[in-house]
Amino acid sequence: MSNWPGKFVIGLTGNIATGKSVVRRMFEHLGAYTIDADSLTHRTYAKGAPGYQPVIDKFGKWLVNKDGEIDRVKLGNLVFNDPEAMSQLESIVHPLVRQATEMLIKRSTQSVVVIEAIKLLEGDLRKVCDSIWVTNAPEDVQVERLVRKRGLSKEKALERIRMQTPQSSKVSMANIVLTNTGSYDALWKQVSEAWKEIVPGAGNADAEATVKVAPAASTGEFSVQRGRPKHSSAIAELITRLSKGRRKMTADDIMAEFGDKAYMLLHLDGKMVGLAGWQVENLVTRTTDIFLEEHIDLPKAFETLIKEVEKASGELQSEASLIFPMNELIAQDDLWKQLGYERRTPETLGVQAWQDSAKESMSQGSALFFKQLRQDRVLRPI
């Protein structure tokens, strides 16, 4: 019997560099609603949020930076070297994370919800889950990833790995174990097969979905399709061609990117003529890749893509949409205004999570356009 009538909740955990976030993104591709509980932790003590003052009262005002926010680096250095301090911090943030998680589950429209948390099995979040899935990887693979992706030394990587609860204890408590040795394709097959076996009614979860929209000014009509791993070659070819070789992509490159983002594919008369690469992370939508053929109706094509990204973002309960266009799209003032976006800088966004997302994604030569998607934010200031 599920804890949530009409919903099936999967708890996803695993130690550092075993691929939890990649698997969480795969669940989104399959149609689940996913929650990154570790990101919610940071929101609990953002300025004005429910955990802000309790953290300052417990550990002191020296943690507050010039912007009035709690400095995560200072707080991290304190608690990671002091088990008692870590326990005190968790006693503040864990109840708030659970409250936020339960709110998100209740608001979700999807029948399957996935909660990713590195300490899922050690806390109360385990109690809201119907099934526990664990990502697993050999220690040498974990080390290689931490060295390559985070720039750690081999010694520091091993230290980080061995500070955590032994991976074997998580595996022993799992309903499903996903072995991740580095191949996205192999991991995708594991997730897809396990999904079909254990998730009620999931047999059609990977069905193709094409959304038709009003006729465009050309000879046909636009339609939008959610990109799947099987479209990797076509996506790579389009990006390589429309970027005029500045971004030379292969099918393997796109397969790897599916672990980080989703794609909306734009079609006209049955031919792919554009795409948007986007993700929802920490309840913020970031659209970082927009490629469109030159001969099509640019305003209509762009509007079609962005509205579908926003629709999908709404299903993932995103609070804000950030778009980082390049080249001629930046100057389309009337189009941005029509779609409800305004040009901003990261520092003016107000909410710390929104600012962090903007700073992480903004690249040289791009601009930032912002639109708030919902007012009822999770862990909003009190």
Question: Quick one: fold of 8-204?
Answer: Rossmann fold (3.40.50)
Query: What whole-number distance in Å separates Cα of residue 20 and Cα of residue 63?
Result: 30
Give phi and psi for 182, each to the nearest 5.
130, -20
Give phi and psi for 116, each to the nearest 5.
-95, 125
Question: Quick one: fold of 210-372?
Answer: Aminopeptidase (3.40.630)
Please list, in sequence order, all residues whose beta carbon lies within 8 angstroms of the beta carbon of residue 353, skipping any fewer than 6 positions away: 39, 42, 43, 46, 282, 283, 284, 319
Give phi and psi for 223, each to the nearest 5.
-140, 155
Nearest one of 296, 262, 276, 258 to 339, comparing CA atoms = 276
Our CA angle for 26, 32, 33, nearest 5°, is 110
pLDDT along the chain (382 residues), means of 10: 83 96 95 94 92 96 94 92 92 94 95 94 91 96 94 92 91 96 90 84 50 45 93 96 94 93 95 97 96 94 96 96 92 94 95 94 93 88 48
Question: What's the pLDDT at 382?
Answer: 43
Strands (DSSP E) found in 44-119:
112-116
Question: What's the pLDDT at 2?
Answer: 67
> Up-side HSE of residue 277: CA atoms within 13 Å toward CB?
19
Tokens of 277: 């690469």
pTM: 0.90
β-bridge partners, 268: 222, 271
Query: Is residue 276 within a helix (H) or strand (E), and if so which, with residue range?
Result: strand 271-281
Query: What whole-number distance in Å separates Cα of residue 269 and Cα of residue 222?
Result: 7
Asked if residues 266 and 292 have their Cβ atoms less than 8 Å apart, the reply is yes
Question: What's the pLDDT at 3?
Answer: 77
- Ordered by start, the domain boundaries in the chain are 8-204, 210-372
> Up-side HSE of residue 340: CA atoms within 13 Å toward CB?
10
Query: What whole-number distance in Å separates Cα of residue 73 and Cα of residue 215?
Result: 51
Tokens of 349: 């966004």
Q: Which residues of 69-87 are buried (b: 16+ CB within 10 A; e: fewer)?
A: bbeeeebeebbeeeeeeee
Question: What's the pLDDT at 201?
Answer: 64
